[in-house]
């Protein structure tokens, strides 16, 4: 009995244990499942590279175990895809092991071998060993072998020796039109890769690629289109032809359709005629909105939305489609739609407003990314009253979203701040809160940029914004942001109500931070010292403490600035013809490099006259370099997707560059530049040589800046000049020219021609001829042969016109009426004209163009249906004479517009000259 | 037993698979030799210089051979050694009309004989291109390459003409028996 009872208790114990075990397994299983969801459990998790390499030894076995090898190859591929790097020696070992497997016939193994061969990227000397085998496979009867061999061979040739392509070209050409879609697609993809290394050979395949384009298979058609585009990439005309013809015959493949939409958009954007959009292509985009595949619909909608200067009417069908997507059950569609709408909302908030209702529904979407985008879009399109509510929503989940979307939110808030300046308090508080949270550099930078912009645009927010920034730099780990903020404090701080309170924050940086931040803190301090007399002594004291800093830059700056501040105290002048305030607070108009060269020259040959910046000259090469630097800067600004700065930057840059022209050693005598015209094209775009001209007016000279772009790949132009025939224009005389030494393909160069104004105000047009020395260039090498002497050639350009507008500078006045009355009617000229224009607006634009004057008091926007309109214009004429004009326009008939022009200025001659310039 | 094994081997050729390496200077006729050994319908019409290597298969004397036909061009020769591991036998082709480069062939051969992985691996030499008038005999080849100094592995030289197949069968049969012996010894 005892035994049996003990047996029973044993059983019970075992049962309990078993139950316990079961429970534990179940628990661990649920845990693992949870883990699965979190990080995607992989069978290869925790795989060791060395262990796999060890296993690779079995590739050498006499009998190949296909199963085992497949597993090993998969592991290798997994390692490579995870970013594990094999050393050179390891690669070699694995590679030769894999090549031995080529004897195997197992299809699955074979496929993996091809993949590994492609992914391993062995050294060129070694990889060549498989070429013969692959060539053999390329001609095998198995489609699987053929297709894969083509891909691997293509990759090998692209990576090692492009000349090998000639040997297998015949096979590839056949493969392009192969019946098997896998083979054809492989050949096309190889073609795309090979295009970069050996374009000449690939270009010969056009006919085969065209045939492949007719294929019924989705992926073949897609790749064929991609390759065709690659082949014709250089030739804009051919591309637009291809696109135009394909848009008429719909493609079967949705992927190809998407690609075609992208190409069509590109063609529309690059259209040289610019203004008028290609109707047929746009209709195609619109028709694609009714395609049955979601992918194509979205592609078309997003293409339309991202067109440059798209109109409201063009946008509306695309928006309607996106609105439908917003309610889709698929998160992917919802996301892409709301993302595109978010972008559109930046430029056309009104167009997106109809979707607001649907977007409200997405605020609580389970997917945080969708919710974020929906809210930020609403912030951009919504009304002022909704701001608080939306901000509350965002704050609730700001910590749950990724940095990337936080940046989107911050961008939206920036737009909001500029739209509703009254709301700056709410938004600034939000910004300062998020600034305190953890975040990456890009995120913090976005916040700081936003605060900077808001401070710039909304004066009331300045004090609060600066306070937030001061607090931020107390604990900022990013040197770049610290220096940026310190610079801003230096610029803005002195003009606040209580500048002294910033001094503490800045000086703390000198004590606590790294050298770069210290240096900028020192500069910032000095800016306070220069502008505020009562603070100067204390700042000199603070700066003197920095004189013993252990960093060179900080010490140098401190020494210089102390000297400068003491100079102001002592009433001394500044350096190089500039006073202290100019030196510190205003940007230098010259490239630093040029100043450096001039300084060196001055030091080499010191004279009694002190060095001044006015004597600095700039070499033409430096001008080119400056332009390139500015262009990249503008590009990055544009890439940063900051529409306001991106647009303003190039304009400012053109001005700055024009100012530098008179610093060219040849043109120093011209003096201060008065004005510059708009760029006028002297040849049609798309011709052999594209030439455009900028006219710069100086007090007694006219400087013509010709930009020459060589569009011929096989030519190098040297000693390029533009000969100007001024014999027919009285009052102008040719003075000098500055040739451009070389204009290679695709790199525009500038050549200058300086004309002297002998008497009066010369107006008229004169012929121009481009003269140059041509050298033939092998496009592959990009350089002419050593012994190539070249030959002289000419190229006839269109006539260059000099109009009255060139001598006028657009300068606005604050109060037009008062200025008009002040100048009086002493030198008033009134003329009436009948202009043959279809609309009032056209006539107005043309007249303003002729006069080259600035529209005042927002009179440049006549109502659509108005029959009469008055425009107020002001400007400054050459020599600094103020000119005002009132233009009264009246629609006489459908084809003509009547105009009365009243011009007033201080000089009768100028009034008459301006008035007659319209005729 | 031997008979049974032979029969059994015939039925399941997978059991008697051997891997051999075919090397030699460029233009010595490696690919042509291999080409002749292939089944009639798999034979290539014209043989072009091999780039890298190519894998060929054929059956002879109840053994199924997998041959790595290596390229003999100078830049590929140092890659041969990657394939020495676990190899069953080696075919070394000699262009017996190329007197000048015989010393190059000897250098390559010496390097091969020194190699660790190839200890006691049988080597078959083909003194190829016997049909041409300026060809030297196999005895002369043995002298030029100092083959008599090889002591640590079995070797054999056969005069051959790969275009007609003369002498090749004889050589391969020798190689087959050698490898069979080696397999049995294991």
pLDDT of residue B90: 92
DSSP code of residue A784? B
Q: Which residues of A touch B53 (CB under 8 A)?
A: 99, 129-130, 132-133
Q: Residue A762: which of A671, A700, A827 has the closest Cα? A: A700
Cβ atoms of residues A444 and A481 within 8 Å: yes
CA of B44 to nearest chain A CA: how many angstroms apart?
Answer: 11
Answer yes or no: do A62 and B55 touch at CB < 8 A.
Answer: no
Per residue of chain B (186 residues), give pLDDT as tens: 455 555 454 444 445 788 889 999 998 889 899 888 888 877 777 888 888 888 888 888 888 888 988 888 888 888 888 888 888 899 999 998 988 899 999 999 998 888 888 888 899 999 999 888 888 888 888 888 888 888 888 899 999 988 888 888 889 999 888 887 776 665
What percent of chain A has pLDDT above 90? 1
pLDDT of residue B14: 46
CA of A133 to nearest chain B CA: how many angstroms apart?
Answer: 5
Cβ atoms of residues B25 and B72 within 8 Å: yes
**Residue A56 phi, psi dihedral angles, 5° rounding:** -60, -15
With an 8 Å Cβ cutoff, is B116 touching chain A?
A: no
pLDDT of residue A421: 74
**Residue A913 phi, psi dihedral angles, 5° rounding:** -60, -45
With an 8 Å Cβ cutoff, is A99 touching chain B?
A: yes
The b-or-e profile of A166-191 (16+ CB within 10 A means b, else e) is eebbebbbbbbbbeebbbbbbbbbbb
With an 8 Å Cβ cutoff, is B100 touching chain A?
A: no
Q: Round to whole Å and give the CA distance between A560 and A564.
A: 6
- In this model, does residue A486 exceed pLDDT 60? yes
Query: Which residue is closest to A95 within chain B, CA to CA?
Result: B82
Q: Round to whole Å and give the CA distance between A558 and A526.
A: 9
With an 8 Å Cβ cutoff, is A129 touching chain B?
A: yes
Query: First CA to last CA across chain A, in angstroms?
Result: 130
Query: Which residue is closest to A126 within chain B, CA to CA?
Result: B79
Q: Round to whole Å and give the CA distance between A874 and A847.
A: 13
pLDDT per residue as tens digits for the range A104-151 = 888 888 889 898 888 888 887 788 888 888 888 888 888 888 898 899
Quote the Cα angle for A301-A303-A308, to 5°: 125
Nearest CB partner across the interface for A136, out of B54, B57, B88? B54
Cβ atoms of residues A212 and A226 within 8 Å: no
Q: Round to whole Å and give the CA distance between A731 and A761.
A: 7
The b-or-e profile of A207-244 (16+ CB within 10 A means b, else e) is ebbeebbebebbbbbbbbbbbbbbbbeeebeebbebbe
pLDDT of residue B123: 92
pLDDT of residue A627: 64
pLDDT per residue as tens digits for the range A765-786 = 778 888 888 888 776 666 777 6
User: Complex ipTM, two decimals?
Assistant: 0.81
- In this model, does residue A591 exceed pLDDT 50? yes
3-class DSSP state of A827: coil
Cβ atoms of residues A200 and A167 within 8 Å: no
Tokens describing residue A162: 């492009």
Q: Residue A322: which of A340, A336, A337, A311 has the closest Cα? A: A337
What's the mean pLDDT when you consider all of chain A?
A: 78
Cβ atoms of residues A743 and A714 within 8 Å: no
Helix axes of A515-531 and A536-545: crossing angle, nearest 10 degrees: 160
- In this model, does residue A415 exceed pLDDT 80? no
CB-CB neighbours of A419 under 10 Å: 14
pLDDT of residue A649: 46
- In this model, does residue A2 exceed pLDDT 60? no
For chain A, give the number of residues.
Answer: 919
Q: Round to whole Å and give the CA distance between A116 and A121.
A: 9
Q: Residue A873: which of A916, A824, A915 has the closest Cα? A: A915
Q: Round to whole Å and give the CA distance between A266 and A627.
A: 26
With an 8 Å Cβ cutoff, is B71 touching chain A?
A: yes
pLDDT of residue B93: 92
Q: Round to whole Å and give the CA distance between A230 and A223.
A: 10
Environment class of A496 (CB within 10 Å of its CB; exposed 0-12, middle 13-18, buried 19+): middle
Helices (H), A382-419: 387-397, 403-419
Q: Round to whole Å and give the CA distance between A428 and A414.
A: 10
Q: Round to whole Å and give the CA distance between A326 and A370.
A: 10
Cβ atoms of residues A283 and A300 within 8 Å: no
pLDDT per residue as tens digits for the range A41-65 = 677 777 888 888 888 888 877 777 8
- Distances in Å between the alpha carbon of A507 and those of A18, A470, A474, A542, A552? 71, 11, 11, 8, 18
CA of B150 to nearest chain A CA: how many angstroms apart?
Answer: 25
Q: Round to whole Å and give the CA distance between A591 and A599.
A: 13
CA of B142 to nearest chain A CA: how many angstroms apart?
Answer: 30
Strand ranges inside A739-839, DSSP E: 740-743, 749-757, 764-766, 768-776, 791-796, 800-802, 808-809, 828-835
Say which residues have a Cβ less than 8 Å from residue A187's Cβ, sequence separation at least 6: A150, A172, A175, A176, A178
Binding site, residues of B?
24-31, 50, 72, 128-131
Answer yes or no: do B88 and A62 touch at CB < 8 A.
Answer: yes
Cβ atoms of residues A914 and A851 within 8 Å: yes
Q: How confident is the model at residue A30 (pLDDT cuts 50, 70, 90)?
A: low
Q: Which residue has the higher pLDDT, A797 or A405?
A: A797
Q: Which residues of B touch A60 (CB under 8 A)?
A: 85-86
């Amino acid at each position: 009995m005892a035994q049996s009872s003990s047996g029973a208790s044993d059983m019970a114990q075992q049962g309990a244990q078993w139950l316990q075990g079961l429970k534990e397994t179940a628990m661990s299983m649920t845990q693992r499942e949870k883990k699965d969801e979190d990080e995607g459990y992989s069978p290869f998790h925790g795989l060791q590279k060395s262990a796999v390499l060890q296993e690779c030894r079995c590739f050498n076995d006499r009998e190949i175990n296909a199963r085992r090898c497949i597993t090993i190859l998969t592991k290798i591929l997994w390692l490579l895809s995870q970013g594990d790097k094999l050393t050179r020696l390891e690669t070699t070992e694995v590679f030769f092991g894999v090549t031995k497997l080529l004897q195997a016939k197992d299809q699955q193994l074979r496929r993996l071998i091809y993949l590994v061969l492609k992914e391993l990227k062995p050294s060129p000397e070694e990889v060549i060993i498989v070429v013969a085998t692959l060539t053999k496979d390329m001609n095998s009867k198995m489609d699987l072998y053929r297709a894969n061999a083509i891909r691997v061979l293509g990759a090998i040739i692209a990576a090692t020796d492009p000349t090998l392509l000639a040997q297998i070209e015949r096979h590839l050409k056949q493969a392009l039109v192969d019946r098997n879609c896998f083979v054809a697609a492989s050949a096309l993809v190889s073609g795309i890769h090979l295009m970069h290394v050996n374009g000449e050979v690939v270009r010969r395949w056009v006919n085969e690629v065209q045939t492949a384009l007719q294929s019924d298979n989705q992926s073949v058609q897609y790749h064929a289109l991609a390759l065709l585009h690659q082949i014709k990439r250089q030739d804009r005309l051919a591309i637009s032809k291809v696109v135009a013809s394909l848009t008429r015959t719909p493609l079967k493949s949705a992927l190809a359709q998407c690609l075609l939409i992208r190409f069509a958009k590109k063609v529309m954007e690059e259209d040289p005629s610019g203004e008028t959009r290609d109707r047929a292509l746009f209709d195609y985009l619109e028709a694609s909105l009714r395609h049955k595949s979601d992918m194509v619909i979205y592609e078309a909608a997003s293409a339309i939305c991202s067109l440059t200067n798209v109109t409201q009417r063009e946008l509306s069908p695309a928006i309607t489609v996106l609105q439908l997507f917003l309610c889709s059950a698929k998160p992917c569609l919802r996301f892409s739609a709301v993302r595109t709408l978010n972008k559109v909302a930046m430029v056309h908030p009104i167009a997106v407003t109809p979707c607001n209702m649907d977007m409200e529904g997405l605020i609580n979407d389970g997917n945080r990314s969708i919710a974020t985008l929906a809210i930020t879009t609403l912030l951009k399109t919504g009304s002022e009253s909704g701001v608080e509510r939306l901000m509350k929503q965002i704050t609730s989940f700001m910590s749950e979203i990724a940095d990337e979307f936080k940046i989107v939110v911050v961008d939206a808030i920036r737009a909001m701040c500029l739209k509703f300046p009254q709301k700056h308090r709410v938004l600034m508080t939000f910004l300062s809160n998020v600034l305190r949270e953890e975040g990456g550099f890009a995120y913090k930078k976005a916040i700081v940029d936003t605060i900077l912009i808001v401070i710039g645009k909304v004066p009331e927010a300045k004090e609060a914004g600066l306070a937030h920034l001061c607090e931020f730099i107390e604990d900022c780990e990013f040197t770049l942001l610290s220096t940026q903020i310190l610079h801003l404090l230096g610029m803005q701080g002195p003009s606040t109500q209580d500048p002294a309170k910033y001094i503490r924050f800045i000086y703390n940086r000198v004590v606590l931070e790294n050298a770069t931040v210290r240096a900028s803190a020192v500069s910032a301090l000095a800016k306070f010292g220069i502008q505020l007399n009562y603070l100067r002594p204390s700042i000199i004291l603070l700066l003197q403490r920095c004189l013993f800093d252990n960093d060179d830059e900080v010490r140098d700056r401190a020494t210089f600035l102390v000297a400068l501040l003491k100079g102001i105290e002592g009433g001394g002048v500044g350096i190089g013809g500039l006073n202290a305030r100019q030196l510190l607070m205003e940007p230098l108009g010259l490239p630093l490099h040029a100043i450096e060269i001039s300084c060196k020259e001055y030091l080499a040959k010191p004279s009694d006259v002190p060095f001044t910046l006015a004597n600095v000259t700039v070499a033409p090469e430096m001008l080119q370099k400056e332009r390139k630097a500015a262009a990249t800067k503008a590009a990055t600004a544009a890439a940063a997707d900051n529409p306001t700065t991106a647009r303003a930057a190039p304009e400012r840059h053109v001005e700055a560059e024009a100012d530098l022209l008179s610093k060219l050693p040849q043109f120093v005598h011209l003096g201060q530049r008065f004005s510059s015209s708009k760029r006028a094209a002297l040849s049609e775009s798309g011709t052999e040589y594209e030439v455009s001209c900028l006219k710069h007016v100086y007090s007694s000279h006219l400087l013509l800046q010709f930009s020459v772009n060589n569009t011929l790949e096989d030519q190098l132009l040297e000693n390029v000049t533009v000969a100007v025939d001024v014999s027919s224009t009285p009052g102008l005389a040719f003075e000098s020219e500055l040739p451009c030494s070389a204009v290679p393909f695709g790199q525009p160069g500038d050549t200058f021609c300086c004309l002297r104004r002998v008497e009066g105000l010369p107006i008229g047009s004169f012929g121009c001829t481009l003269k140059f020395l041509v050298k033939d260039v092998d496009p592959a090498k990009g350089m002419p042969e050593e012994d190539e002497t070249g030959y002289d050639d000419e190229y006839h350009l269109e006539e260059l016109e000099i109009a009255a507008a060139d001598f006028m500078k657009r300068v606005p006045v604050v109060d037009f009426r008062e200025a008009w009355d002040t100048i009086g009617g002493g030198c008033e000229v009134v003329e009436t004209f009948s202009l043959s224009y279809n609309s009032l607006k056209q006539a107005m634009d043309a007249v303003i163009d002729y006069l080259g004057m600035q529209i005042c008091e927002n009179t440049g926007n006549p109502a659509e249906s108005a029959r009469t309109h008055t425009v107020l214009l002001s400007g400054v004429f050459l020599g600094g004479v103020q000119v005002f004009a009132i233009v009264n326009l009246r629609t006489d008939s459908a084809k003509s517009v009547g105009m009365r022009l009243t011009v007033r200025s201080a000089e009768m001659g100028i009034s008459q000259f301006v008035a007659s310039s319209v005729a | 037993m031997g008979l049974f094994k032979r029969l059994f081997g015939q039925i399941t050729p997978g059991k008697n698979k051997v891997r051999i390496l075919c090397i030699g200077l460029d233009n010595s006729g490696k690919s042509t030799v291999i080409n002749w050994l292939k089944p009639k319908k798999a034979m290539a019409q014209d043989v072009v210089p091999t780039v890298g290597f190519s894998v060929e298969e054929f059956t002879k004397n109840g053994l199924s051979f997998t041959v790595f036909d290596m390229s003999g061009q100078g830049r590929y020769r140092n890659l041969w050694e990657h394939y020495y591991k676990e190899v069953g036998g080696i075919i070394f082709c000699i262009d017996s009309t190329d007197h000048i480069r015989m010393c190059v062939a000897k250098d390559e051969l010496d390097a091969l004989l020194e190699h660790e992985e190839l200890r006691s691996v049988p080597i078959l030499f083909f003194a190829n291109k016997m049909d041409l008038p300026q060809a030297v005999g196999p005895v002369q080849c043995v002298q030029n390459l100092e083959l008599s100094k090889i002591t640590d592995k079995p070797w054999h030289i056969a005069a051959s003409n790969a275009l007609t197949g003369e002498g090749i069968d004889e050589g391969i049969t020798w190689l087959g028996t050698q490898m069979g012996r080696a397999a049995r010894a294991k």
